Amino acid sequence: MAIVLLLVLVVVASIVFHLLSPWWWTPIASNWSYIDDTIVITFWITGIVFTLVVSFMAYCVWRFRHRPGNVAAYQPESKRLEWWLAVGTAIGVAAMLAPGLMVWKQFVTVPPDAATVEVVGQQWLWNYRLPGADGRLGRADTRAVSADNPLGVNASDAAGLDDVIVQSTELHLPIGKPVQMLLRSIDVLHDFYVPEFRAKMDMVPGSVTYFWFTPTRTGSFEVLCAELCGVAHSQMRGTVIVDDEATYQAWLREQPTFAQMTASTDNDQPK
């Protein structure tokens, strides 16, 4: 009976705890309220399953407790029970996966009018690259990374000469406009994560991953690395600042292009 009471107490305490303690989510600052909805749906499904399973365990412990004269029935297998378990489990898994798959499709279906920002992660800092006047990014290669070219932009690609290079912990974005984030790592696994945007994605060396979002309120939002990437992982932080259009354009005009950065580096070399 002690075990039965303990299992029942676990169920009741878990329900009471989650009803009385609110979710401490950061205020959302993008269009991805779908992420919150998906988490809530998953929480309710797993919560109901947890309650049913533990309650059933408590019932079994009580119903089949040892009593004098009781003899256990030996049943090596039950096809009917196995089918019930297989079908029930499949339905439960599908119920949890379906909302996530629908949201994922939206997450990676980039609107045609979205701006582009490339995020480059390395131990243990963030750099950014934006298209220049031509509206497209030039080619880049990790093998071209050097002290003078930290993002590995291909200097022979004319499309990359006007790319805007942001070597700063701050990235500015305009409010109310969709943006596609192209994610690239030049060393190990990283993960670009802004909690208020409800958006994150792994950055895999040798690949370019992506997602998109639309900032919905101005402000300053912390960038975190959500993938353990070395001893200074916890220090890999940055800031995304969402501006009104005028403020954003003023910031953008202050950023150097790849051609300007290269020319400045050449001028600094000893003659």
Determine the pLDDT at residue 136: 85
Q: Which residues of 143-154 are buried (b: 16+ CB within 10 A; e: fewer)?
A: eebeeebbbbbb
Task: Provide Rg for the chain, Cα atoms.
Answer: 26
User: What CA–CA distance (Å, rounded) separates 187 from 49?
Assistant: 41
- The per-residue pLDDT for range 217-256, each reduced to its tens digit, is 999 999 999 989 889 998 899 999 999 999 999 999 888 8
Beta bridge partners of residue 85, listed in sequence order: none
Determine the pLDDT at residue 269: 57
Determine the pLDDT at residue 178: 94
Determine the pLDDT at residue 267: 57
> Among 160, 180, 197, 30, which Cα is nearest to 113's?
180
Determine the pLDDT at residue 2: 83
Domains and CATH numbers, the chain: 2-64+74-108 (no CATH), 115-268 (2.60.40.420)
Which burial class, exposed, middle or buried, applies to 62 when counting CB atoms under 10 A from its CB (0-12, 13-18, 19+)?
middle
Residues in the chain, pLDDT under 70: 23, 264-271
CB contact at 8 A, 178 and 114: yes
User: What CA–CA distance (Å, rounded) separates 235 from 237?
Assistant: 6
Q: Which residues contact 191 (CB under 8 A, 6 or more apart)?
A: 200, 201, 202, 203, 225, 226, 227
User: What CA–CA distance (Å, rounded) separates 146 from 76?
Assistant: 66
Determine the pLDDT at residue 265: 61
- What angle separates helix 33-63 from helix 79-108, to the nearest 10 degrees? 170
